[in-house]
Amino acid sequence: MSKLEQFLRSRLAAAIAAVLAGLIVSGIVLAAAGFNPFEAFSVLMQGAFGRPKYIANVIIKATPILLTGVAVSFAFKTGLFNIGAEGQYILGTVFAALVGITCNLPMVFEIPLVILAGTLGGATLGAFIGWLKAKFGVHEVITSIMCNWIAFYLCNFIVMSDAFHKPNSSSAVITNPSCWTVLLPEWKKSKEGMAALSNIPWLKEMLLKTDLNIGIIVAIIVAIVISIVLNRSKLGYELRAVGFNNDASKFAGIPVKRNIILSMLISGGICGLAGALNITGISPHTVTLLAAMENYGFNGLSVAFIAGCSPLGCIPSSILFASLLYGGMSVQQMLGAPSEIISIVIGTIVFFTALPGITPKLADLVAKKNKPQGPPTVSKDGTPLPTAEKEA
């Protein structure tokens, strides 16, 4: 098998083909709408990576969808479709905000406590969905969709409650600063910090003009750990086995029901972690009244499928997704192109990702082309020629 054929059969080739297809389709739509697609894509790239603060904002936007993407990928690899990542994310923000508001411990205790609370919030909802499936056979897609709305309205109820509502606003009381995970919050605004950063303009812009925080580091570590657990541990083997075949797993002595609940618990916990990191790392550091879903969980679905449900693949996939979302605003502002163009790009990419057989077919064509041709078996006039075996 040639290197080209190997590449065309890989997940990376399928992802690249999907991205290119999405860009081509969106380019056609832009041209049909009267916009120069090359100019639009140039503006998009400049809007995403043209300045240090743009890069920082792309990283910030990528953090929660990387985590929800890893959560969806983990559940999918274990035979479950966690479409409730949005609700688990919301519950993570609620739990983290409540603990961040009511507790004011030293930072070394407060930050882990708030992050743990958010993780437990998402894990609780995920485990409940898994329990319903394991105990009563209720499909996780149905229960997780319903739980999305339960979490949505629970968040709004808490925001507007007398105990947590901030007067004359649409948000809850701000969490205590001791739980914030923004990078160097006090130092970067001090005289010493300003003097040091003045010698490094790009770092100054990233730190002072954005809420750059530790979230992306945590998210990458989680993606690596989940990949190791899935592929190199006994637990991961059991979870994947249950997802592949319940009956065979039960026959082999693997506790099927326990693993279904555990899988959804872990997936929900990762979504809750995403919510907690947004509370601790991004202003206004609290939950607000929701008029619609924030789409961190639903965007995580797209990130997971673009990555082929590979936890490690979610890292570049989330950066791509975040750059499209953030850079797309520049296309709208500078060219006047409709914001729906970015949705078309993303939708087309996900659509072509769902067609995994395209690049393998190209690989088959390459293999057929490179296959050595044997001696002819028929003459020019159609008369069969004697084979070497018959001649012998």
Closest CA to 21 of 327, 302, 345: 345
Mean pLDDT computed over 252-269: 95
Q: Is the pLDDT of residue 306 over 90?
A: no
Mean pLDDT computed over 162-181: 95
Q: Is the pLDDT of residue 389 over 50?
A: no
The conformational region for residue 130 under phi > 0 = left, psi -120 to 50 = alpha, else beta, is alpha
Supply the DSSP string of 135-198, one letter for each residue.
HH---HHHHHHHHHHHHHHHHHHHHTSTTTBPTTSSBBPPPPGGG--BSSTTGGGSHHHHHHHT
Give pLDDT, residue 229. Answer: 96
Give pLDDT, residue 95. Answer: 98
Closest CA to 87 of 77, 99, 95, 98: 95
Q: Is the pLDDT of residue 391 over 50?
A: no
Structure tokens at 50: 């043209």
Give the tens place of pLDDT for each residue, 337-362. 877 777 887 787 777 776 665 656 66
Half-sphere exposure of 191 (CA within 13 A, CB side): 0
**DSSP bridge partners of 213:** 182
Structural domain boundaries in the chain: 59-184+211-311
Q: What residue ranges in 172-323 does DSSP mark as E strands?
A: none
CB 47 within 8 A of CB 54: yes
CB 314 within 8 A of CB 303: yes
Question: Using CA atoms, how far apart are residues 205 and 201, in angstroms rounded to an integer?
Answer: 6
Question: Using CA atoms, how far apart are residues 270 and 288, in angstroms rounded to an integer?
Answer: 21
Closest CA to 84 of 271, 315, 313: 271
Q: Is the pLDDT of residue 392 over 50?
A: no
Give pLDDT, residue 260. Answer: 96
CB 91 within 8 A of CB 81: no
Question: Using CA atoms, how far apart are residues 14 and 36, in angstroms rounded to an integer?
Answer: 27
Mean pLDDT computed over 60-68: 97
Query: At 213, is the secondary structure helix, strand, or coil?
Result: strand
Give pLDDT, residue 33. Answer: 83
Q: Is the pLDDT of residue 74 over 70?
A: yes
Cβ atoms within 10 Å, residue 278: 26
Mean pLDDT computed over 269-290: 96
